[in-house]
Amino acid sequence: MCSRSSTGQLVKSLPTFSVILTKSVNASLSTSRFPATHKHALVTPVLKKTSMDLAQLTNYRPISNLSFVSKLLERTVASQTSAYLNDNKLFRPLQLAYRPRHSTETALLKTVNDALLAADQGMVTIIVLLDYSAAFDTVDHSIVVDILQNKFGVTSSSLQWFCNYLSGRSFSVSFNSQTSQNIDMDSSLRQNPWRRFCTFPMHRNCRLSLKDMESCSTALQTTHS
């Protein structure tokens, strides 16, 4: 694990360590293996708001700490994966989450524009919002691998890298100067930016398809006032 201070020192020393880090990343990609020593996360519960009840577990947000090298590897693969998804048009056309140059503002603009166009035609718009509770805690690793292979066409060494990356992961919880025993993980994904970005469309395919949502939205908007 790299603490905040040690990570800062490493960044300052990048000219010296860049060759070593580059070789580490290339070795991981060429062998389709993610270093086992970087698969363990130290989870620290952080109170969401200082005014909340300390005894209520739901008031805490789990923060996973991984090593600098682990994050570097993840971001490297994230960059290549996002380019692959974009180049091959594998994102849903109306998926606005976790995509370059897309945001919640894009979603709001799209929704408001559609509502105004419907109103001009004398129709009433009803919005149905679905919220997956702790969605990334429910992602099964085997389902992610299956979607990567069968829906996104990821095969051979690339697929092997993802399989190795997801396997053998564990975490422990640190709280009040005490640390729990290691716990193995066969589901759930830590919510760092790249993992949410790369696995959101995969997770979405396991749930309600966007096509179903579009049909639902169209049906709702055909109600005239």
Taking the C-alpha atoms of residue 19 and residue 80, their distance in angstroms, rounded to an integer, is 20
Q: Quote the tokens at residue 54.
A: 């300390």
114: Cβ contacts below 8 Å, ≥ 6 apart: 125, 217, 221
Query: Which stretches in the chain have pLDDT values below 70?
Result: 1-8, 10, 97-98, 132-138, 188-225
Tokens of 11: 């960044």
What local confidence, expressed as pLDDT, does residue 219 receive? 39
Instruction: Please tell me the distance from the alpha carbon of residue 82 to that of residue 90, in angstroms, as a whole number.
Output: 10
Q: What is the pLDDT of residue 202?
A: 53
**Nearest-5° angle of CA 108, CA 110, CA 113?**
105
Residue 115 has a pLDDT of 92
0.75 exceeded by the pTM?
no
Torsion of CA 214, 216, 219, 220, to 10 degrees: -110
Pairing state between β 183-185 and 178-179: unpaired
Looking at residue 7, its pLDDT comes to 64
How many Cβ atoms are within 10 Å of 71's Cβ, its own excluded? Answer: 17
In the numeric block, which tokens belong to residue 189?
């994904």
Give the model's pLDDT for residue 216.
35
Question: What pLDDT was estimated at residue 223?
Answer: 39
The two structure tokens encoding residue 79: 């960059």
What pLDDT does 34 receive?
93
Residue with tokens 């048009």: 89
Largest pairwise CA distance in the chain: 68
Backbone angles phi, psi at 191, to 5 degrees: -90, 55
